[in-house]
Chains A and B, each alone.
Chain A
Amino acid sequence: MTDTSIPPIKVDIWSDVQCPWCYIGKRKFEAGVAAFGGDVAVEYHSFELAPDTPVDFDGSPVDYLSQRKGIPVEQVGEMLAEVTGIAASVGLDYDFDHVHQTNTMKAHELLHYAKAQGRQLDMKERLLKAYFVDGRHVGRIEDLADLASEIGLDRSEVVRVLTDESYLPDVKADVARAIEYGIQGVPFFVIDGRYGVSGAQDAATFANVLERARTEREAIK
């Protein structure tokens, strides 16, 4: 039974929009929260995996990884096929053939704007689905404004704040905090400011650590 006198368990999540494990991890985390059964308050934080990627990279993810990392094209294709299979196991229909590799700085700015509107979770889900499933571009201001309007945010306001870089300092602050915490990869979950969970863990792992956090809270109440 949930003790309503205890505030929600806070979960801070560092994540990037074009991180395949972040979307898979999101689904596993959500399943863990459901199994936990208590109140959880989630805040997403910015982490850029490839900040020097051009907004309009001309090529597929296979081209990108083979050119940037020197991995043979065939091997990249096998890797993406495996990730696609894992994504399918949690109900996500990844479509790497139509992914637009891009720079995600503006997407992170948009997530901060959405947070200020109390809509960050919806915006995060829309951006991940847009990138991995729908083949939409998540690097250009106009495309991002379209996605924001799809969840009910003010399109013209989004264009303005992204053009003005109003939330760029918030993105940089998130990245700086990630460095401070020693976060090197994503997704990375910080539970109640105490526990760190790295990667797309099983739902049971998330449920267990949330329960542990709740038990500790009850012990000091």
Chain B
Amino acid sequence: MTDAVSVTPTIPASLPLILVGDSTVGACEGEFCTIPDHHEQAVVNRRLDEDLV
């Protein structure tokens, strides 16, 4: 993986972009960062395993 500065210019995006990937993964918008539901469930499951809830 290299710094792009001397390798490849920024490619003008073809709009609209083709969106790929899971739309529920963690990301930040404004000052708020989401936590994926499945991770929250995993945390709950772990706590259940540990008899914390």
A residues in contact (CB < 8 Å) with B:
7-8, 10-12, 16, 19-22, 24-25, 30, 33, 39-43, 49-50, 64-65, 68-69, 79, 82-83, 85-86, 115-116, 118-121, 180-182, 184-188, 190, 192-202, 205, 208-209
Give the nearest-CB partner of B40 in chain A. Answer: A82
The interface residues of chain B lying within 8 Å CB-to-CB of A50 are: 30-31
Q: Taking A41-B3, A200-B25 as contacts, is the C-beta distance between A194 and B20 under 8 angstroms?
A: no
The CA of A86 and the CA of B25, in the complex, are separated in Å by 12
Separation in Å of the B14 CB from the closest CB of chain A? 6
Contacts of A115 in B (CB 8 A): 3, 5
Given A10-B10, A193-B11, A121 and B33 touching (CB < 8 A)? no
Q: How many A-B residue pairs have CB under 8 A?
A: 148
A12 to B7 Cα, complex, angstroms = 13
**Docked pose: A79 CA to B6 CA in angstroms:** 40
Number of interface residues of B (CB under 8 A): 36
**In the bound complex, do residue A10 and residue B11 qualify as a contact, i.e. CB atoms below 8 Å apart?**
yes
Which residues of chain A have C-beta atoms less than 8 A from B23's C-beta? 198-199
Contact A41 B2 (CB under 8 A): yes
By the criterion CB–CB under 8 Å, are B4 and A10 in contact? yes
Would you call the interface of chain B mostly helix, strand, loop, or mixed? loop
Indicate if the CB atoms of A196 and B28 lie closer than 8 Å.
no
Cβ contacts A to B, 12 pairs, < 8 Å: A24-B26, A40-B2, A64-B31, A121-B3, A181-B15, A185-B29, A195-B18, A196-B18, A198-B21, A199-B27, A200-B25, A205-B21
Chain B contacts with A in 1-53, Cβ cutoff 8 A: 1-23, 25-33, 35, 39-40, 43
Determine the chain A residues whose CB is within 8 A of the CB of B30 once the complex forms.
Answer: 49-50
